[in-house]
């Protein structure tokens, strides 16, 4: 025993198997013993499951994710709408379900198409394209970047990281911010959805395009004139697709955008249907009859609802008691300032930037909507 104690022990006090004496017999692991006991399961090994070597992850478990549950619930609600209405024999409930289903069914195709295009742009269009196209002069780059939103559309969720990538690649912040505001507001998908939601009203489509583009350009110019570098936290580098595959990045991006945008679409449809049914008509008339209050009310409602830009026109069209200018303010403010965008901007560019930029954008969007609505509507 004395000879054994004088042997040099390896690191961590765990003797190697080769140094064990011949007559020691097989070692019996003691999970709760001292340091000299046999080690338990190492990193990456699943306790109680044989075959789990170091670094070997547990096999994935098949389960329904949030996207699958959302799609399943929406399909069940759409299919069972008539059955639910029959069981709840009330005119108000039937009206509520009719408004909700109408908004969801009309907006869903545009939502899917918009998320597909947005994910494709994020995955396959490199930000270096913008650095080659935009003028070096910031005052000229702002309207060009704003107009590019009509060519390279994207949803609100994707516009923030895309703008961050543009800044990290050397694009002027004013131009990147103009693209951030215009891309989800004036792209062809949104304009087509607006034309479908407001049939025989082409002036609403032109008004939305003009007011949204003007807001994006004005905000870019305001940043050129008054913006300070310490307000904006530019991302240090643009992260490439983590999967290593553009197609995998496209799939993940489309799933993420559809899950987020679809959830807000449902919330917006529920809120619009509830307002149509539960709010007394005299209250709606009192708000909508006052032109100024109606515009501000729908502008603040757009911030709270955070409906995706591909679907907000259908929500606005369902608010029949309000003026066309108030509906325009709802559609102009929503894609540029809402609760989820403020959170995304705060996490990407810093809280100081998000507070200043969101407040200024809201004010400019409302004023631009008033001017364009007075001119065209």
List the structure tokens of 259. Answer: 């899950």
> Is residue 305 in a domain?
yes
**What does pLDDT average to over the chain?**
75
List the structure tokens of 328. Answer: 């325009």
pLDDT band at residue 331 using 50, 70 and 90 as cut-offs: very high
* Shared domain check, 81 and 127: no
> Is residue 202 in a domain?
yes
* Shared domain check, 38 and 75: yes
- 3-state SS of 132-176 is HHCCCCHHHHHHHHHHHCCCCCCCHHHHHHHHHHHHHCCCCHHHH
* Shared domain check, 157 and 35: no
pLDDT band at residue 133 using 50, 70 and 90 as cut-offs: confident
* Shared domain check, 263 and 199: yes
* Shared domain check, 212 and 110: yes
Query: What local confidence, expressed as pLDDT, does residue 83 receive?
Result: 66
Average pLDDT value for residue range 151-159: 67
How far apart are alpha carbons 198 and 106 in whole angstroms?
A: 12
3 state SS of 83: helix
Of the three residues 41, 62, 89, the one that is the final residue of a domain is: 89
* Shared domain check, 277 and 221: yes
> Is residue 97 in a domain?
no
* Shared domain check, 368 and 269: yes
How far apart are alpha carbons 71 and 195 in whole angstroms?
A: 26
* Shared domain check, 73 and 109: no
> Is residue 99 in a domain?
no
> Is residue 100 in a domain?
no
Query: What local confidence, expressed as pLDDT, does residue 37 receive?
Result: 45
How far apart are alpha carbons 177 and 175 in whole angstroms?
A: 5
Residue 6's φ and ψ, nearest 5 degrees, are -80, -5
Average pLDDT value for residue range 363-372: 96
How far apart are alpha carbons 309 and 194 in whole angstroms?
A: 10
Average pLDDT value for residue range 103-109: 72
* Shared domain check, 171 and 31: no
pLDDT of residue 205 exceeding 90: yes
> Is residue 326 in a domain?
yes
Q: What is the pLDDT of residues 281-319, one digit of tens each?
A: 777 778 888 889 999 999 998 888 878 788 899 989 988
> Is residue 96 in a domain?
no
3 state SS of 19: helix
Query: What local confidence, expressed as pLDDT, does residue 319 receive?
Result: 86
* Shared domain check, 287 and 143: yes
- Whether the CB-CB separation of 176 and 163 falls below 8 Å is answered with yes
* Shared domain check, 166 and 280: yes
Q: What is the pLDDT of residues 52-93, one digit of tens each?
A: 445 555 555 545 555 566 677 777 777 776 666 655 556 777
pTM: 0.65
Query: What local confidence, expressed as pLDDT, does residue 90 receive?
Result: 66
> If you count them, how many residues does the chain have?
377
Of the three residues 89, 113, 131, the one that is the final residue of a domain is: 89
* Shared domain check, 50 and 20: yes
Count of other CB atoms within 10 angstroms of residue 241: 16
How far apart are alpha carbons 51 and 315 in whole angstroms?
A: 55
The Cβ-side half-sphere exposure at 35, using a 13 Å CA radius, reads 7
Nearest alpha carbon to residue 348 among 198, 194, 164, 167: 164
Number of domains comprising the chain: 2
- CA 99, 100, 101, 107 dihedral sign is positive
∠ CA 188-192-195 to the nearest 5 degrees?
Answer: 140
- Whether the CB-CB separation of 339 and 306 falls below 8 Å is answered with yes
How far apart are alpha carbons 119 and 148 in whole angstroms?
A: 17
Query: What local confidence, expressed as pLDDT, does residue 371 receive?
Result: 96
Count of other CB atoms within 10 angstroms of residue 57: 8
Under 8 Å CB-to-CB from 72, ≥6 apart: which residues?
Answer: 64
pLDDT band at residue 253 using 50, 70 and 90 as cut-offs: confident
> Is residue 95 in a domain?
no
Average pLDDT value for residue range 140-159: 80
Structural domain harbouring 352: 105-376
Which one of 7-16, 128-137, 351-360, 363-372 scores highest in mean pLDDT? 363-372
How far apart are alpha carbons 214 and 142 in whole angstroms?
A: 11
């Amino acid at each position: 025993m004395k000879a054994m104690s004088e042997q040099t022990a390896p690191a961590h006090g765990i003797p190697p198997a080769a140094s064990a004496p011949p007559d020691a017999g097989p070692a019996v692991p003691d999970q709760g013993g001292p340091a000299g006991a046999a080690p338990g399961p190492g990193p990456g090994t699943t306790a109680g499951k044989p075959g789990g070597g170091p670094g070997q992850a547990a096999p994935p478990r098949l389960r329904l994710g949030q996207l699958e549950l959302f799609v399943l619930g929406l399909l069940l609600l759409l299919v069972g709408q008539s059955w639910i209405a029959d069981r709840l024999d009330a005119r108000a409930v039937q009206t509520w379900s009719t408004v909700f289903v109408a908004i969801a069914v009309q907006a869903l195709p545009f939502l899917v198409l918009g998320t597909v295009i947005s994910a494709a742009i994020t995955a396959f269009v490199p930000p270096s394209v913008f650095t080659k196209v935009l003028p070096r002069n910031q005052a000229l780059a702002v309207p060009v970047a704003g107009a590019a939103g009509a060519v390279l559309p994207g949803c609100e969720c994707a516009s923030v990281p895309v703008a961050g990538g543009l800044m990290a690649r050397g694009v002027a912040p004013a131009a990147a911010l103009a693209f951030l505001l215009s891309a989800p507001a004036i792209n062809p998908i949104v304009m087509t959805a607006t034309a479908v939601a407001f049939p025989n009203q082409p002036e609403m489509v032109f008004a939305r395009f003009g007011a949204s583009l003007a807001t994006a350009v004005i905000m870019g110019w305001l940043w050129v004139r008054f913006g300070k570098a310490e307000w904006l936290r530019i991302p240090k580098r643009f992260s490439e697709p983590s999967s290593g595959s553009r197609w995998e990045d496209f799939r993940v991006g489309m799933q993420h955008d559809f899950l987020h945008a679809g959830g807000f679409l449902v919330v917006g449809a529920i809120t619009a249907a509830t307002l149509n049914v539960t709010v007394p008509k005299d209250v709606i008339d009192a708000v909508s009859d006052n032109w100024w209050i109606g515009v501000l009310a729908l502008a603040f409602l757009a911030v709270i609802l955070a409906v995706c830009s591909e679907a907000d026109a259908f929500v606005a069209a369902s608010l029949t008691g309000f003026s066309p200018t108030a509906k325009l303010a709802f559609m102009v403010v929503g894609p540029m300032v809402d609760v989820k965008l403020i959170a995304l901007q705060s996490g990407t560019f810093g809280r100081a930037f998000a507070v200043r930029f969101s407040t200024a954008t809201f004010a400019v969007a409302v004023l631009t909507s008033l001017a364009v609505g007075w001119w065209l509507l």
